[in-house]
Amino acid sequence: MHDPYAHITLPAGTVLFEEGEPGAFAYLIVTGRIAIYLRREGAEVLIAVRGAGEIFGEMAILDSDPRSASARAIEECVLVPVSEDQIKHRLSQTDPILRLCLGVVMARYRETIALLRVQGPIAEIAPATIDLSDTARADFDATIATVVLERALRRALDRGEFELFLQPIVRLGSELLAGFEALIRWRHPERGLVPPMEFIPVAEASGLIVEITTWVVSEIGRIMPEIMLAALHNPAAADGPLFLSVNITGHDLARASFPEMIGEMLRTTGIAPETLKLEITESTLMRDPVGASDALTLCRQAGMGIAIDDFGTGYSSLSYLSTLPITTLKVDRAFVRAMLTDPCNRQIIKTILRLADEIGIPVVAEGIEEAAEAEALSEMGCAFGQGYFYGRPVPLSDTITLIKGWNAAGRAARRVAAA
Ligand code: C2E
Ligand code: CA
Ligand code: CA
């Protein structure tokens, strides 16, 4: 079934746009055929027919000029609109030479259309028939899915459908609470809770991630004081102020205004910068280490912590460890999951712990699901742990209940008994 917000159905004969109008959308054709035509001396000149698997209306967006021709549905059509933002963001990400080529092609195409307009009658152009191969069809379907998801994400932002869940991070050994990681969820009106891996990559590709992170940061400003307040109700839960970790991407760091945006949130809420940690994955860091460095340095100078997420999974040179102001390493869940059965993974964790020790920063082990893993990591000298064993990511209200009822001593005793 077509999503009525993402797909539009046009009855046969409908004019979608007219020559000379400004254009804000291009359209992917799911089914049906579209006639592209010019009006000349009261008559219509057909210049192309577009069918399923094609895009049309992209020209006005690519070169920001008015529509060069009109478009009408030849038969009933199902279309997926692609917004100006969606196209322009992608264009800005492409190679400058390709952008230049595209500009030239556009200009030539407009010249050709202008000639068609002034010359005498021309023979009707035969409608193209598109025969999509399986691969092309799969590509086209994937494009539609991405375009639809992007538009849905934009709507989700406008409608406030995102929510931050929180997962505890504890001190291994004492089992005192150390802080929480904020993990985004999308409360979709029909699909229910959508996990971030289903939409963060698309948000990154479309540039929407910047707005999502802006929302995340403002939400942190709302959540953090509530967490601090809950901790006051249970002084035995922690031995210092709790921190909050937030996931950010290379796209965020590439924006010059990022450190200021986050600093502004800290100033207006009065939250101590030391209680905020920025988590960035090794792989996004590797994509643009120089660009990320300036932003991370500014954030670190302001007092925030910087954690390398999924450490050990990227193909890194490790040289960034000496150049970037990193305060924490998070060992990827894959190593923790395999450590009890595979000596090699255990060795990798030991090596990471030694490395972190030498540069003087603590390690958080991710994905701890069993008492035996917690016990082994604690014995190996890992300072912090996170995983379902301590608690799954849950909404703020459940997190407040968790903090108020956290019994570190009791948990530690039970863990030792279970391991
Ligand atoms: P991550 O930053 O590595 O987050 C840890 C993920 O592991 C979370 O998945 C968490 O629910 C899951 N996890 C924690 N403990 C366990 C465990 O014991 N066992 C298992 N099987 N899984 C565990 P989640 O919440 O689905 O998030 C997935 C990824 O999405 C995150 O990986 C992060 O890269 C990204 N993400 C989440 N929230 C945000 C956000 O606000 N902004 C950005 N840019 N990315 C986010
Ligand atoms: Ca993370
Ligand atoms: Ca991680």
In the structure encoding, which two tokens stand for residue 404, read together? 């108020």
Judge if 188 and 65 occupy the same domain: no
Domain CATH number, residue 243: 3.20.20.450
> If you take atom 37 of ligand 1, which residue's CA is the nearest one?
183
Residue 183: CB within 6 Å of ligand 1? yes
Q: What is the mean pLDDT of each run of 10 residues along the chain (419 residues)?
A: 74 96 94 91 86 92 90 96 89 85 86 73 49 76 89 94 98 96 96 96 92 98 97 96 97 93 97 98 81 92 96 78 92 94 93 95 97 95 97 98 94 81
> If you take atom 15 of ligand 1, which residue's CA is the nearest one?
387
Opening angle at CA 355, ends 354 and 358, nearest 5: 85
Predicted confidence at residue 129, as pLDDT, reads 52
**169: in domain:** yes
Question: Of 91, 111, 146, which residue sits at a domain end?
Answer: 146
**154: in domain:** no
C-alpha distances (whole Å) from 347 to each of 128, 251, 317 are 61, 34, 19
Q: Which bound ligand lies closest to the C-alpha atom of 183?
A: 1
Judge if 214 and 126 occupy the same domain: no
Opening angle at CA 174, ends 170 and 176, nearest 5: 40
> If you take atom 46 of ligand 1, which residue's CA is the nearest one?
247
Question: What residues make up the domain containing 280?
Answer: 161-418
Q: Kindly give the distance from the C-alpha atom of residue 247 to the centroid of ligand 1, in angstroms, as a whole number.
A: 9
For residues 77 and 54, the answer to whether their CB atoms sit within 8 Å is no
Residue 221: CB within 6 Å of ligand 1? no
Question: Of 115, 146, 177, which residue sits at a domain end?
Answer: 146
Residue 168: CB within 6 Å of ligand 1? no
Judge if 17 and 131 occupy the same domain: yes
Predicted confidence at residue 93, as pLDDT, reads 83
Judge if 259 and 363 occupy the same domain: yes
Question: Of 96, 120, 146, which residue sits at a domain end?
Answer: 146
> If you take atom 21 of ligand 1, which residue's CA is the nearest one?
367
Judge if 239 and 313 occupy the same domain: yes
**Domains in the chain, number:** 2
Judge if 118 and 197 occupy the same domain: no
